[in-house]
Chains A and B, each alone.
Chain A
């Protein structure tokens, strides 16, 4: 058995404070945390732990916010949805552009349909199940909370492998392990996503976190691949540029196909 493997243990207060100062320094773009992660053991254990911890925190906040849904009947949720639509209509009337008569009619039909659904939802929620209905709400709540770290993990890995590939193509010399570990630090600003529930301001915070994460990615590429700032920026932006180009190409292709089929139709 390999001796380098360690069993994860609960961090002591000093370890927690070290981790916090590491996170703070990483967000402030100080070089030490990045060098520390790059030169660590050849294992992504630390990186994965950072991502899971951030994901769990986001999940905990969201779970806390959605806690009332655990104890509310589905009918109450539908009623809340209707109230939300009516509220947003009122806001549109007071501020900004008022809804057009067509939009107003559409909202009315939607609200009426939802209102008509209430007795049906009530009946469905009263259908007998082997376990009490509370457990269904509990599982949905728990599933949502525990899915959060995996969503962040998928986002991190998905982006990291593309940036790694472009960094290599641009002459980077970093190893996969060093890069992945260091890139895990870039998920720290995503902690702001936890506050996405705050109207208007929450979305802005989440966007700020994502942008700062990309800035940190540049630092990661510079440190782990020994690339110049310009090349590091290019490596980080390349996946997005490639995605946009692909989307543009597919849209152009699709449009051309539709256009061609219209032109070639006998009528």
Chain B
């Protein structure tokens, strides 16, 4: 319990960019384990909030099938819609769009599987995001002459995930928690600056943005590969 309270204390200091909090995190004996613990705490807290928020949202949402039939009945009662449906081509296009629209809506409609999914996927997503950022940023910082250790980068960047804690307010349906991304950019900057103290601020900025650039390049390469594979399969079948 004390470890949990200490971690929350450290997280709130990290949230407010207090440099000594990052030094404290970086001094941990095992950066990976300490970092994982911090990110897991954040992930589980946010997931629990999302779980409650999901239940509340479900509580105020009507059944999708009932909504669909009500909207359709309502549309059918409107003169402009009756006029439109006289054209068989327009009616067919409407039917296709209608089906696709409700199928997409069904994907986002509040349902229990989403809440349980969030319980697993939220911490997992945070951990993967943290590891990706820490590994790439550390490699780039090292290449630029940074002297911090990998364990230190792992622990300090885990603390830099503190702004994600604001998503705890996600238990309130319809709330928009803006600014978390920008705040996390700042915490990560401070984390890298404290660990790789010898680097100048422009070099820290390069290390800070490198993981996002790498991710964008990776996504681009992956989509190009998928496109060429799809293209070759389609070409072969013709």
**Residues of A at under 8 Å CB distance from B?**
1-2, 4-5, 41-45, 48, 113, 116-117, 119-120, 123-124, 127-131, 133, 135-136, 139-140, 142-144, 146-147, 150-151, 153-158, 161, 168, 176-177, 180
* Interface residue B6 (Cβ < 8 Å from any Cβ of A): yes
Q: Which 8 A-B pairs have the closest CB atoms?
A: A143-B174, A120-B74, A154-B179, A154-B178, A127-B62, A136-B60, A131-B59, A147-B176
- Known contacts A42-B18, A123-B74; A161 and B60 CB within 8 A of each other: no
- Known contacts A119-B74, A129-B62; A2 and B21 CB within 8 A of each other: yes
What does DSSP make chain A's interface, helix, strand, loop or mixed? helix
* Interface residue B182 (Cβ < 8 Å from any Cβ of A): yes
* Interface residue B66 (Cβ < 8 Å from any Cβ of A): yes
Which of these, B6, B58, B66, contacts A1 with CB under 8 Å? B6
* Interface residue B203 (Cβ < 8 Å from any Cβ of A): no
Known: A120-B74, A135-B56, A157-B183. 12 other contacts (CB 8 A): A4-B18, A4-B20, A43-B18, A127-B66, A139-B60, A150-B166, A150-B179, A151-B179, A153-B178, A154-B178, A161-B185, A180-B17
The CA of A84 and the CA of B190, in the complex, are separated in Å by 50
B-side contacts of A124, CB under 8 Å: 62, 67, 70-71, 74
B-side contacts of A113, CB under 8 Å: 80
- Known contacts A131-B59, A154-B179; A146 and B189 CB within 8 A of each other: no
* Interface residue B236 (Cβ < 8 Å from any Cβ of A): no
A and B contact pairs by CB, cutoff 8 A, 27 listed = A4-B18, A5-B13, A41-B18, A42-B20, A120-B77, A124-B67, A124-B71, A124-B74, A128-B63, A129-B62, A131-B60, A135-B59, A135-B60, A136-B60, A139-B57, A139-B60, A139-B174, A140-B174, A142-B174, A147-B175, A150-B178, A150-B179, A151-B176, A151-B179, A157-B182, A161-B182, A177-B19
Query: Contact: A157 with B70, CB < 8 Å?
Result: no
B-side contacts of A168, CB under 8 Å: 201
The CA of A45 and the CA of B12, in the complex, are separated in Å by 9
Query: Contact: B169 with A146, CB < 8 Å?
Result: yes
The CA of A155 and the CA of B183, in the complex, are separated in Å by 11
Task: Give residues of chain B (42-75) contacting chain A, Cβ–Cβ below 8 Å.
Answer: 56-63, 66-67, 70-71, 73-75
B-side contacts of A131, CB under 8 Å: 56, 59-60
B-side contacts of A129, CB under 8 Å: 59-62
The CA of A89 and the CA of B217, in the complex, are separated in Å by 52
The CA of A4 and the CA of B19, in the complex, are separated in Å by 11
The CA of A120 and the CA of B67, in the complex, are separated in Å by 10
Residue of A nearest to B77 (CB): A119
Shortest CB-to-CB span from A146 to chain B, Å, is 5
Residue of B nearest to A124 (CB): B70
Query: Contact: B174 with A44, CB < 8 Å?
Result: no
Residue of B nearest to A138 (CB): B60
Shortest CB-to-CB span from B77 to chain A, Å, is 7
Shortest CB-to-CB span from B178 to chain A, Å, is 4
The CA of A44 and the CA of B163, in the complex, are separated in Å by 13
Residue of A nearest to B13 (CB): A5
Shortest CB-to-CB span from A59 to chain B, Å, is 11
The CA of A154 and the CA of B70, in the complex, are separated in Å by 39
B-side contacts of A136, CB under 8 Å: 60
A-side contacts of B18, CB under 8 Å: 2, 4-5, 41-43
Shortest CB-to-CB span from A254 to chain B, Å, is 21
The CA of A45 and the CA of B62, in the complex, are separated in Å by 42
Residue of A nearest to B190 (CB): A176
Shortest CB-to-CB span from B27 to chain A, Å, is 12
The CA of A5 and the CA of B15, in the complex, are separated in Å by 12
Which of these, A5, A144, A154, contacts B174 with CB under 8 Å? A144
The CA of A1 and the CA of B59, in the complex, are separated in Å by 42
Which of these, A44, A128, A151, contacts B17 with CB under 8 Å? A44
Query: Contact: B77 with A161, CB < 8 Å?
Result: no
Query: Contact: A143 with B77, CB < 8 Å?
Result: no
The CA of A147 and the CA of B180, in the complex, are separated in Å by 12
